[in-house]
Homo-oligomer: A and B are copies of this chain.
Amino acid sequence: MSSERGLAQSSARRPTIGVFDSGFGGLTVLKALLQLIPEADYCYFGDTARLPYGSKSVETVARYAVEAAHYLESHGAQMLVIACNTATALALERIRSGAHVPVVGVIEPGAEAAVASSKNQKVVVIGTEATISSHAYRIALEARHLQAREKACPLLVPLVEEGWVEHSVTEQVARIYLEEAFADGFSDADTLVLGCTHYPLLKPLLRRVVPEHVSIVDSAESTARAVASQLERLVPSTGAAEERRRLPRLQFFATDSVEKFRRLGERFLGHAIENVQHVDLKE
Do A57 and B155 have beta carbons less than 8 Å apart? no
Do A60 and B56 have beta carbons less than 8 Å apart? no
Q: Which of A157-165, A207-215, A244-252, A269-277 contacts B (4 or more CB under 8 A)?
A: A157-165
A117 → chain B, closest Cβ, in Å? Answer: 29
**This protein's copies in its complex:** 2
Chain A facing B: main interface SS: loop
Q: Mark A171-183, 1 if CB is under 8 A from B, else 0.
A: 0110010000000
Once bound together, how far apart are the Cα atoms of A216 and B159, in whole Å?
A: 26
Cβ contacts under 8 Å, A173 to chain B: 169
A197 → chain B, closest Cβ, in Å? Answer: 17
A240 → chain B, closest Cβ, in Å? Answer: 42
Do A256 and B158 have beta carbons less than 8 Å apart? no
Q: Which among B60, B155, B172, B256 is the interface contact of A60 at CB below 8 angstroms?
A: B256
A208 → chain B, closest Cβ, in Å? Answer: 17
A111 → chain B, closest Cβ, in Å? Answer: 27
Once bound together, how far apart are the Cα atoms of A129 and B255, in whole Å?
A: 18
A38 in the interface, Cβ–Cβ < 8 Å? no
Q: Which among B50, B154, B161, B162 is the interface contact of A50 at CB below 8 angstroms?
A: B50
Once bound together, how far apart are the Cα atoms of A51 and B60, in whole Å?
A: 12
A257 in the interface, Cβ–Cβ < 8 Å? yes
Once bound together, how far apart are the Cα atoms of A169 and B169, in whole Å?
A: 7
Once bound together, how far apart are the Cα atoms of A176 and B176, in whole Å?
A: 20
Cβ contacts under 8 Å, A159 to chain B: 155
A49 in the interface, Cβ–Cβ < 8 Å? yes
Do A260 and B155 have beta carbons less than 8 Å apart? no
Once bound together, how far apart are the Cα atoms of A157 and B162, in whole Å?
A: 12
Once bound together, how far apart are the Cα atoms of A279 and B138, in whole Å?
A: 32
A61 → chain B, closest Cβ, in Å? Answer: 9
Q: Which among B56, B158, B256 is the interface contact of A154 at CB below 8 angstroms?
A: B158
Shortest Cβ distance from A50 into B: residue: B50
Cβ contacts under 8 Å, A161 to chain B: 55, 154
Do B155 and A257 have beta carbons less than 8 Å apart? no
- The winner among A55, A161, A162 for most chain B CB atoms within 10 A is A55
For the complex of A and B, list the 4 residue pairs with the smallest distance between their C-beta atoms, beginning with the closest.
A57-B257, A158-B158, A49-B60, A57-B256
